[in-house]
A and B are shown apart, each in its own frame.
Chain A
């Protein structure tokens, strides 16, 4: 098997996909999170500002979902196909809410009628909450494992089996961390009364996060078999949960000092550490089979050919710096507090 810096291609691609999904979680985390607070803002103008805080950047942030999905399809087609077809209902709901969310951003402020705006506000709020929740639910299902038989055939329930108690908990945890991330991002972009209200809301968000995260962690340790195996074999990995805890603890301190950008960095780090934790728990498995471990989808049996992975790594090496350049240009252009003008949503 070919390697690069001593790491084989499937593992390298696992890191790439992990990196892309972390980028997605961090960037769309504050987009979805900001939207999940939407109905907590009472005035129409506050809601408009909240939408325009993500206005020029949410389309770009969404690129990470497209690239992450493409990278999963290209690098681990078996994982892509098995997960999406087995999780048919949650993914269809996820896609539906994605469409409704972008539609409400585009059309909410295009009419002045209060009923029009209120309707879209509700749709927008529900979509954001549902998207964050469903992402967590899918993650929970992956951690728990699927009923996968021979030839990657899914043998589990069809409609509502994805809503296991554990998946619901990971759903709430994801929602809460996105809401924390979203509130911090809005603090960075707003001023005045809305800003003061967000300081108050962020505290609630953090409590929501700490509670759901603690319950989920306990549940994971007690009920999900094999979770700690990878940790026992490599004790250094215990640093990951400690790091994520420290990163969370740092957020209130930075917010009280009004260092919102640093706070955003630390809540992003929390997400990155947690995703690393997940990746570390799973590797080299991508999708554990609850029927027999021989049927599990792993980075090796799911991976594309060496040749294809090599090409794709080249694409990533060329494409990522370009993308980073575009992002720096975009974020620099829209740096600072939201100012509504005639081009705003």
Chain B
């Protein structure tokens, strides 16, 4: 295999694995802050027990998130050297700002959050929890800003030519608030809230099914259900707004998302389907003119199709973009239905009577994870063949001096270590869930 495809596989693998964890940390962080806030406000011990329990799970997800995140920071340089020289002026400042403003905040307060129970007052502990949560939210901001700039560059000019060409910042705030940043930050935040909320829902649904820790589980379930119900709906709005932005800024990506080829024609909206890229044909169930309606509120209005772009300027994997995009949408719709139905039952006072509903919630934890991954895959494959949209191609961005064998070496290494991490993560998550929120009597420690 050639260096470019290996570098892409390695990046996709390491970033996708990394992206299991930070959304969980952000989402659990939000629920944990709510729980601890309720504890401080009501003084009810149940909320303290819940906070301590979820803090332990938070600690694992956060830890693996940081460990796998550091690799990402250096992988731009190791595998994407040409890209790094090209965008360092812009992308680098976002990364550095992330380190200083976000990671600094979360990592220092993390120590107090995890180990400070007996050393600081409950209020200071709560402030630390908020610090860590805000830090993780800010992290998402800067990272998504950096990625959004690759999708919709703004506030820059290109200096130099050929090998020495690079993008330089002309307007810092225009770069930060590039056309897609705000939509995508909100979309990513909400995806993270859903990932965390559904883990909480899943674990407590499991307890409720088993009849264990009923009192506190019901409390936790309700907190997470409120978050999940609101966010699954607002996520639909943010997704719509994001897609509107794609229609304006990255028409080739939008066309790939719905498999729309004709240069200038009304476009359909598919529920599900299969794209035959060679014959430029989509087989599936959909609403004729639906995409036109969503973008222009008119079923007849034309949408720019893939054929309006030269072959070399449009995504090669149209079906992949289509499928990932539709997986995300379908899951989003299902989550809305599920949470609204559960909230309706809660309103009727019958929420915890449905055993099968608790079964569905136990397994739904995987769905936001899949949707988050699928959304990113659609966004990133849809950006191809560009690494910086309209300026630098992915095929020009990788490190020329790195050989295929070196990448195979590191790819094998990452596969081994990440498998180990995943096993450890699932094992200790499972163990903590089985062990439950209550600590047994503390064992006395031997003295040296």
Contacts and interface: CB of A to CB of B under 8 A. Distances in A.
A153 B164 CA distance: 12
A70 B95 contact: yes
Chain A: interface residue count, which band? Answer: 35 or more
A329 B110 contact: no
Most central of B74, B96, B168, B417 by chain A CB within 10 Å: B96
Interface of B is mostly: helix
A73 B95 contact: yes
Contact of B63 (A76, A96, A106): A106
A77 B428 contact: no
A344 B115 contact: yes
Interface in B398-448: 399-403, 405-406, 409-410, 413-414, 417, 420-421, 424, 428, 431, 439, 442, 445-448
Contact of B100 (A56, A59, A91, A320): A320
A91 B409 CA distance: 12
Interface stretch (B80-88, B222-230, B251-259, B302-310): B80-88
A315 B68 CA distance: 25
Contacts of B119: 333-334
B112 A74 contact: no
A67 interface: yes
Nearest to A58: B111
A60 B406 contact: no
A315 B399 contact: no
Interface of A is mostly: helix
Contacts of A60: 104, 107-108, 110-111
Contacts of B87: 77
A62 B101 contact: no
Nearest to B119: A333
B63 A158 contact: no
A89 B199 CA distance: 37
Given A73-B76, A95-B70, A102-B63, A80 B400 contact: no
Interface residues of B, number: 82
A107 interface: yes
A66 to B, nearest CB: 4
Given A74-B88, A77-B88, A78-B85, 20 more contacts: A45-B445, A46-B448, A62-B66, A69-B73, A77-B89, A77-B166, A80-B76, A81-B80, A81-B81, A84-B78, A88-B406, A92-B413, A96-B417, A103-B63, A110-B431, A153-B400, A307-B169, A315-B97, A319-B101, A334-B115
Interface of B: 59-60, 63-64, 66-68, 70-71, 73-74, 76-82, 84-85, 87-93, 95-101, 103-105, 107-112, 114-120, 131, 159, 163-164, 166, 168-170, 172, 399-403, 405-406, 409-410, 413-414, 417, 420-421, 424, 428, 431, 439, 442, 445-448
14 contacts: A63-B107, A70-B95, A70-B98, A73-B92, A78-B88, A81-B77, A84-B74, A99-B71, A102-B66, A315-B101, A323-B100, A326-B109, A326-B131, A344-B115
Interface of A: 43, 45-46, 49, 55-57, 59-60, 62-63, 65-67, 69-71, 73-78, 80-86, 88-89, 91-92, 95-96, 98-100, 102-103, 106-107, 110, 151-155, 158-159, 191-194, 304-305, 307-308, 311-312, 315-316, 319-320, 322-323, 326-327, 329-330, 333-334, 340-344
